[in-house]
Amino acid sequence: MQAVGQSAQNGRAVYWTGLFLDSVTAWAVPMYFAIAGWAVLVGAPPRNGGVLRKRSLRMIIPVGIWSVVYLAWGRLRDTNGEPTSQLALDAVFGSVRPAFHLWYFYAHVPLILLLGCVILLKAGKRPWGVIAALAVVAAGPTALSDIGALTGCDVPEFGWQFGTYSLVYAVVGALLLSLPATRSTHRVRWLAGAVVSLAVVLWSQDRIHFVIPNASIFVAALTVCVLFAANGLRIPDRLRPVLGKLTDAGLGAFMFHVLLLKTIGPSFISADRGWPGAVAAAAALGIVTLASSFGLSMLWGRLKLRKYLG
């Protein structure tokens, strides 16, 4: 989409290939929040505040380290666009422009703290540390704004926040993921619904707004259809060890992959490609990115660096 300036007039094949690939995965972020909600509320409720602290640090530490990596890589290649020191300060408070894909970890951590706190309170616990963290999350935006008004300085935005839509996805996702498996006779219907929803998402991204907001009702419909179509599918036993290894490496691969895409993407994609060239280039870029990202993540997993690099 960047190669054609988000306009079909600059390269129809590349535009529609990019638009389709973005649309077909539009359910990914909502599903992430749905699974996060299910994990906290149903699958693995926290026993105490220490569990929530460990889960938060499991996200915060890799995000911090990868923020430094992306800022350093951008400075080395002169692509940061703004002073690295300013971008680093912004990253502490929740805006990682060179590593834009890390944004929803800033929403994920406060979200699991809030849901986990409710679970602990219901169980009769008194998680004072979690309460203090939530107080910082609640007061942070106003406090920074007030500091800026009093000092006249430019202050970063406080991004450790979750939106209403992410909270709803988490709570509704916990409900839907805890339902019985979808009947095989109904699975085809949900798949058909996913196809229809995808077509509407494509239309919306082309005619209304790109990138389509996660809070869009069209994205929500696609997410629900994908969830019910996949709910209850049994993974063959022979594939589970491989899937387990890929799952373990998934967070690290996600952290790294945008660095690779931003570096090698322009050499694969150009606006003047026709349909065969656009599809082939996207497929080649995807294969190289997946293989490299998961391969490196598995490597640092073997080196016991998962805690730091995801």
Domain housing 117: 45-178
Percent of the chain topping pLDDT 90: 92
Residue 95 clears pLDDT 90, i.e. is over it: no
**Local confidence band at 151 (pLDDT 50, 70, 90 cut-offs):** very high
For residues 107 and 110, give the distance between their C-alpha atoms in angstroms, rounded to a whole number. Answer: 6
**Assigned domain for 273 exists:** no
In the prediction, which pLDDT does 94 show? Answer: 85
25-35 b/e with 16+ CB inside 10 Å = b?
A: ebbebbbbbbb
Cβ pair 244, 265 in contact under 8 A: no
- Rounded to two decimals, what is the model's pTM? 0.93
The per-residue pLDDT for 8 is 95
pLDDT for residue 213: 96
Q: How confident is the model at residue 65 (pLDDT cuts 50, 70, 90)?
A: very high
For residue 58, give both structure tokens: 């499991």
Mean residue pLDDT across the chain: 95
In sign, the C-alpha dihedral spanning 40, 44, 50, 56 is negative
In a domain, 14, yes or no: no
For residue 136, is it within any domain?
yes
Report pLDDT digits (tens) over 176-230: 999 999 998 899 999 999 999 999 999 999 999 999 999 999 999 999 999 999 9
pLDDT at residue 81, as a whole number: 87
Residue 250 lies in a domain: no
Is residue 279 included in any domain, yes or no?
no
Give me the percent of the chain exceeding a pLDDT of 70: 100
How is residue 230 written in tokens? 């996949």
- The span from the CA of 166 to the CA of 30, in Å, is 7
- The number of folded domains in the chain is 1
Is position 98 within any domain?
yes
Residue 113, in any domain of the structure:
yes
- Residue 33 belongs to some domain of the structure: no
